[in-house]
Chains A and B, each alone.
Chain A
């Protein structure tokens, strides 16, 4: 930090506040992790046990060995990864046209895009299921029970288009004009001129798409009809039964489910914070 040193009287309250806020933010993570390394009896002791007497990692092994967890892990990675790549491409392409090209119906189409944000998928899941089932080419059940069927409904998002559009608006139009004079086509302008400048937007859309897809529960549950097509979030339900919940196992599985998202964030974090705000960058 190259900032000049500030007096303690000024920094101390900042640290106190941030320290407290960090504790509040992280307590659920801590509790999840501590429960995961406890033995069964310690989970149920009162007053609550914080650090277990004999921390154990065997719950992680047990959770990993339940059902076909490695396969579910792979499925989640494929689904969330594919959805992320498709969103990066489709959302930025659409946003490029909305931000930098003039065509009839532009604002009307954009309004329709925004309107799709207004209804949660939960309430339209029956029509969605019927549509995915009747898509051609992948078998008698349409796209049911396929990666394509799980990914497709989330392959583009209004939020992503909106964020990319806002970001593209901040890039000077002269770049496109200069490129046009040089004889560049629209695709080249989009792919080689604009996208390289949009790294923060890409990182933000990538993180959000990945997190949303990784954490989705209801759609993968409904559309997958094969245990091998389930995702991790659905797999979490292996640890709850009609009558009981195995907390240490469930929380171990929750740690396994949460870790990849945290790792992805750790990698991309540097670029992320700036990109998130671009939705508001132009008003």
Chain B
């Protein structure tokens, strides 16, 4: 006992201050994020309908979720949304960043204004998008009608609804990520471009062989964060489409919320949460591996 305690005490004495520095943040994260996650993990092996007793059921919930078509559908929607909103969000951000990197008068104002979508609350922005997207009286279809394009069923067709949701996600994503990529662009030394130009590289070759490789750490960061963010999407879609039509845009998180709060199946909802957590961990890991490999 004393043998084991001695090094621990010594460690604490030597590194005590370092632990004191991390303690407040770790206490907060541990108590309010990690502990609830661990409670959810524990609940995932139980059946609990809130008013009744908590019953241990072993791995039953996990067996159930493997055969749950609605959860699979929700995960699929989440993946589609993540892929779409990350791709278009990052491409949009890159286009914005390149334009914002031009040294033209008034560029500061554009840089400031183009970030604003990232500041609007998701509930408010989704309510406004509802108006813009409305098939009958929405601004978007009205504008399209002015240029002779017929009404698009943005929120009333199972395929278009996902498009509408992805566009809204990309609208925020592009604004949010543009400043990050802009900083990345600005960190690239101008001498590299000059060298490329001396070698007779075209604008495209310059972009392809100088800009993109040097921007990679920034794009990697942006894509990983965007993926994590898009997996958590809930309020935005819930307000815009309610997850419909016919569950066509219902993300996994919305299904988990429904199972817990509408169906009162807290144990099963916890198992679904654990599954989603593991899936996102795996995806993030794969994504980082993949993007780093491309770099090498």
Contact = CB atoms under 8 A, between A and B. Distances in A.
Interface residues of B, number: 90
Contacts of A274: 183
Contacts of B119: 211, 258, 261-262, 265
Nearest to B31: A131
B29 A113 contact: yes
A127 B40 contact: yes
B66 interface: no
Interface in A1-20: 1, 3, 6, 11, 14-15, 17-18
B137 interface: yes
Contacts of B210: none
Interface in A96-134: 96-98, 101-104, 106, 109, 112-113, 115-128, 130-132
Given A11-B102, A98-B22, A120-B231, 19 more contacts: A14-B99, A22-B113, A47-B142, A94-B21, A94-B26, A116-B37, A118-B281, A123-B253, A123-B257, A124-B37, A156-B25, A190-B21, A214-B121, A262-B116, A273-B182, A276-B180, A279-B225, A282-B217, A283-B220
B128 A120 contact: no
B179 A277 contact: yes
Interface string B164-188: 0000000100010001111110010
Interface string A24-68: 111111011001000000000011100000000000000000000
B277 to A, nearest CB: 5
22 contacts: A1-B105, A3-B104, A14-B99, A14-B104, A17-B95, A25-B171, A28-B117, A28-B128, A89-B24, A97-B19, A102-B15, A113-B25, A123-B40, A124-B36, A127-B37, A190-B21, A251-B128, A269-B112, A273-B111, A280-B184, A281-B187, A283-B220
A152 interface: yes
Interface residues of A, number: 93
B152 interface: no
A77 to B, nearest CB: 15
Contacts of A281: 183, 187, 217
B22 A97 contact: yes
Contacts of B65: none
B62 interface: no
Residue with the greatest number of chain A CB neighbours at <10 A, chosen from B22, B35, B269? B22
Interface in B249-280: 253, 256-257, 260, 266, 269, 272-273, 276-277, 280
B29 A14 contact: no
Contact of B22 (A26, A93, A251): A93
Nearest to A237: B123
Contacts of A90: 24-25, 28
Contacts of B222: 280
Contact of B11 (A104, A153, A250): A104
